[in-house]
Amino acid sequence: MTDIQGLPARRAALQLLDAVLRRGQPLENALNAATKGIDNPADRALAHAIASEALRRLPDLDDLIDGATKQRLPDDSKARMVLRIALVQALILGTPQHAAVATALPLVEGGPRRLVHGVLGTLFRQGAQLRKVPMLLPAVEQRWGEAWGHAMLGAASEVLAEQPAIDLTLRTAESTDDWAEKLGGESLAPGHVRVSRDRAITDLPGFAEGEWWVQNIAASIPARLLGAGDGRTVLDLCAAPGGKTMQLAASGWTVIGVEREAARLDRLRENLLRTGLSADLVVGDVLKWEPKEPVDAILLDAPCSATGIFARHPDVLHRIRPKDIAQLAEIQAQMLKRAAGWLKPDGRIVYATCSLERPEGEDVAAQAKTWGLLVDPIETGDLFGGLQASPEGWLRVLPGQGRDGFFIARFKRA
């Protein structure tokens, strides 16, 4: 059975689902181990696509499966995992039904083959379809509904229904109109262009010359809020993967980028080389490292649950638990408190997280006064696309319009 065409990719997808749902691993971190021995890049990409779409649509897939079985299969049973994989291929990725079945049955060799075959046969004969707008996981829906209300839940579900937009940040904001035309995209703010997904990033005009880099438009806001550097010094804490570092350097700041893991700086170095921008990169733990002298500004893009980027990484919806959120919020508070002491008297600090959880945003920002920080209110003129600051002067970006979820607050020394 091992010589069935495409079977290795399906086995890898099964391993990826197991890694995320049973072991709590990030999907990207599990990819190399799951696809070990698969040399064809297309097969590796297929395994990733199957797993990612299964995670994106899991409640809907399980609804179909449960409607075709007399007894509910355990959530972590191999039969359910294989059924999810087969349905993703047939209902989302356009795989012919016979091929989805043929590559599913070997995955349960020695197990409930008849069950899997029977469920797929029933669903395909019934013309089973997935909802146009996916359901959120019940636990996520409850948490976000309590925090942000019903309208946000609808927007989040719609975000899951399609692949996220590709945003580019330009090295030179003054050339925005020119690059929007060259790239065939649209600009939603100075220094930004949104492009279609039907072309390889590396083939787009300006890539080789380092004229831009990929960065969701919401992720570009924190660095924008520090304005022009005019040669002043800024710390970019937790700098990798580096979009904000390059923004700051392009805006005239003297950048010191700090990252705990040396390996995460490699890609940043490559992008700095490609764009012709410069930054002093330092390997250091923000909770232990400290600068030699006070600085003019700090950007703390703190480690977080990353639930705000669930459109691109749907595995976060399945991995992150309230205890993880609480632990990460505590780390963020420690980092912000520590960084507050590194500012010059007139310095400013921007605290940001790509999280949709209040403990990782509003709750941390509310403590800042005790660490000698005063809110430097974000103004409407600082923003774009209809975004508005909260009464506290903070910014909460909710899903929709191709924007990742973010929390951003700007402070100054008391």
Residue where the block lists tokens 């910014």 = 395
238 flagged as catalytic: no
State the average pLDDT over residues 14-18.
97
Q: pTM of the predicted model, to two decimals? A: 0.93
Judge whether residue 372 has pLDDT over 70: yes
State the average pLDDT over residues 78-91.
97
Distance in angstroms (rounded) separating the CA atoms of residues 396 and 406: 6
Strand partners, 403: 400
pLDDT in tens, 154-210: 999 999 998 888 999 999 999 999 999 999 999 999 999 999 988 889 999 999 999
Distance in angstroms (rounded) separating the CA atoms of residues 274 and 85: 39
State the average pLDDT over residues 355-382.
96
Distance in angstroms (rounded) separating the CA atoms of residues 355 and 364: 12
State the average pLDDT over residues 11-40.
95
Give, to the nearest 10 degrees, the angle between helix 78-91 and helix 7-21: 120
Judge whether residue 145 has pLDDT over 80: yes
First to last CA, the chain: 69
Identified catalytic residue from 17, 20, 272, 354? 354
Beta strand ranges found along 272-387 (DSSP E): 280-283, 295-301, 343-353, 373-375
Distance in angstroms (rounded) separating the CA atoms of residues 66 and 78: 15
Beta strand ranges found along 80-215 (DSSP E): 166-170, 192-195, 212-214
pLDDT in tens, 31-78: 999 999 999 999 999 999 999 999 999 999 999 999 999 899 999 899
Distance in angstroms (rounded) separating the CA atoms of residues 123 and 90: 11
| Cβ pair 261, 238 in contact under 8 A | no
What pLDDT sits at residue 3? 56
Strand, coil or helix: what is 259? strand
What pLDDT sits at residue 13? 97
pLDDT top residue among 413 and 85: 85
State the average pLDDT over residues 100-109.
94
What pLDDT sits at residue 1? 41
Distance in angstroms (rounded) separating the CA atoms of residues 219 and 139: 26
Judge whether residue 398 has pLDDT over 50: yes
What pLDDT sits at residue 223? 98
State the average pLDDT over residues 332-359.
97
Q: Enumerate domains of the chain plus CATH numbers.
A: 7-125 (1.10.940.10), 218-413 (3.40.50.150)
pLDDT in tens, 109-140: 888 999 999 999 999 999 999 999 999 999 99
pLDDT in tens, 241-271: 999 999 999 999 999 999 999 999 998 999 9
Distance in angstroms (rounded) separating the CA atoms of residues 259 and 142: 34
